[in-house]
A and B are shown apart, each in its own frame.
Chain A
């Protein structure tokens, strides 16, 4: 894993964790955690840690996480996996309603 990939991955993980923490519903929080688990599962054990994200709104967090997951495709992650992750993220977002 090169540094650029690691930075993107750290971004994905950090923003997903922030989304899970700020989720409005229990189901959405569980779904965000599952996306995070799936990202970790794809990369094995050699992944960077989570950095605390300043308090943005959930929309911003979602957009950044979405873009970062899309960016994973540029670092050798296969497209199908990226699409599945994006789908899982959208499912979580759909449940994240007050």
Chain B
């Protein structure tokens, strides 16, 4: 996720920002008490290594700025015509292309480094490389709100500020190559951070980005409600693809059974939840009635089997009440997700004319060839005047209330810690960095 990777990046750069006397940290001479452990050539190599790691962080920053403002076009712009975002992007592109260092290789990213400073750079580079998934995926230019864009921009600008500050501090490293137009890059980052920091930040962006592909809970059937949860979860995964009409009917039937069986067993423990599940059962009962004439052969049939398994396991639950509130919450959450997918499947199937309604007018097809005349089948799109209540039930009764994303805990603290690390002076107290 964006929040996880950017937090790691800030943490690693925050640690670096609090380090001074860099030569000494790379094994160079500094004080009389600590002997010199590396030669000038070795420190030069370490410097090159650090610059390769830095290149990864710069590339991440450039992607972040691009994600925040994907429509900018730098062709033919000048310093006066560029706004703060364009200016930062221009300076970053310039610095990246002018640097003689390459991006760190995969081997370098996973090999632990003996010097703590280089290790922190490696951590930063690794977080930046992992973060590239986020910026091109869910937290990419397409899926962000305006406030989220500004938050990403502020994060990227802060990282660049940190890089510029570190660049000044590393100038003493043998063979060190400064960022091109370091001063202008720093000023552009400052301006951009101030520009993006005007609005209130929206840290819900932290929950976007790349996530591992969900895997089914394989293995033998678990006992009790856990088995129902297992089958429901598998059903949820199968519903990612559009089920065919028959499969959708079986899924609706199964959800009616699961909701009913679960609700009857929690009436005394969780009356509110039980009431909600009874309403869900009634909604599915109406949907089952309305979709009896639903047809359509396009789609995947796999969801039906998992739905039937879930219903079968729910029916075999013992008569004793279900008291594990944790499992009940999980089941409720899976119910919401399944409802959402069923809504999406019905809406999509109807809109794309993949689901049809059978019209009860069987009659002989006189125009068919041959002596035996067969039945003339008639299907009509659901959006035609032969309407059912399927759409209105799905839209108004089944669809769960949209979940308002809450910013993750520690999102603001991570940024505050990084800001404190950037502004700190030697001798300041060293607060613990939040991850």
- Alpha-carbon distance between A48 and B378 when the two chains are bound, in angstroms: 8
Does A59 have its Cβ within 8 Å of any Cβ on chain B? no
Residue-wise, chain A 34-76 has the 8 Å CB interface mask toward B (1 for contact) of 1011001100011111110000000000000000000000000
- CB neighbours (8 Å) of B250 from chain A are 37
Number of interface residues of B (CB under 8 A): 29
Give how many A-B residue pairs fall within 8 Å (CB-CB). Answer: 61
Q: Tell me the chain A residues, 20-35 only, with Cβ under 8 Å from chain B.
A: 20-21, 26, 29-30, 33-34
Contact of A49 among B246, B360, B364, B373 (CB under 8 A): B360
Instruction: Say whether A47 contacts B374, CB under 8 Å.
Output: no
- CB neighbours (8 Å) of B253 from chain A are 30, 33-34, 37
- Alpha-carbon distance between A10 and B373 when the two chains are bound, in angstroms: 18
Q: Tell me the chain B residues, 355-383 only, with Cβ under 8 Å from chain A.
A: 357-364, 372-375, 377
Contact of A37 among B249, B285, B364, B372 (CB under 8 A): B249
- Alpha-carbon distance between A70 and B364 when the two chains are bound, in angstroms: 23
The chain B residue sitting closest to A51, CB to CB, is B360
- Alpha-carbon distance between A7 and B250 when the two chains are bound, in angstroms: 25
The interface-forming segment of B1-9, B200-208, B286-294, B337-345 is B286-294
Number of interface residues of A (CB under 8 A): 27
Q: Tell me the chain B residues, 251-265 only, with Cβ under 8 Å from chain A.
A: 253, 256-257, 260
Nearest CB of chain A from residue B377's CB, rounded to whole Å: 5
Q: Tell me the chain B residues, 173-194 only, with Cβ under 8 Å from chain A.
A: none
Does A97 have its Cβ within 8 Å of any Cβ on chain B? no
Output the residue of B249, B358, B363 with the most chain A CB within 10 A. Answer: B358
Contact of B293 among A1, A6, A49 (CB under 8 A): A49
Instruction: Say whether B375 contacts A50, CB under 8 Å.
Output: no
Does A17 have its Cβ within 8 Å of any Cβ on chain B? yes
Main DSSP-derived SS at the B contact region: mixed
The chain B residue sitting closest to A13, CB to CB, is B292
Instruction: Say whether B360 contacts A10, CB under 8 Å.
Output: yes
Does B297 have its Cβ within 8 Å of any Cβ on chain A? yes
Nearest CB of chain A from residue B355's CB, rounded to whole Å: 11
Instruction: Say whether A29 contacts B285, CB under 8 Å.
Output: yes
The chain B residue sitting closest to A10, CB to CB, is B362
- CB neighbours (8 Å) of A21 from chain B are 289
Does B295 have its Cβ within 8 Å of any Cβ on chain A? yes
- CB neighbours (8 Å) of A37 from chain B are 246, 249-250, 253
A17-B292, A49-B293 are known contacts. Are A2 and B260 too (CB-CB below 8 A)?
no
Does A94 have its Cβ within 8 Å of any Cβ on chain B? no
Instruction: Say whether B372 contacts A2, CB under 8 Å.
Output: yes
Output the residue of A17, A33, A34 with the most chain B CB within 10 A. Answer: A33
A10-B362, A37-B250 are known contacts. Are A48 and B295 too (CB-CB below 8 A)?
no
- Alpha-carbon distance between A30 and B249 when the two chains are bound, in angstroms: 12
A2-B374, A37-B249, A46-B377 are known contacts. Are A26 and B362 too (CB-CB below 8 A)?
no
Write 21 A-B pairs (CB below 8 A) sorted by A numbering. Answer: A1-B375, A3-B364, A3-B373, A5-B375, A6-B362, A7-B362, A10-B360, A13-B292, A21-B289, A30-B256, A30-B257, A33-B288, A34-B253, A37-B246, A41-B246, A45-B295, A45-B297, A46-B377, A47-B358, A49-B360, A51-B360
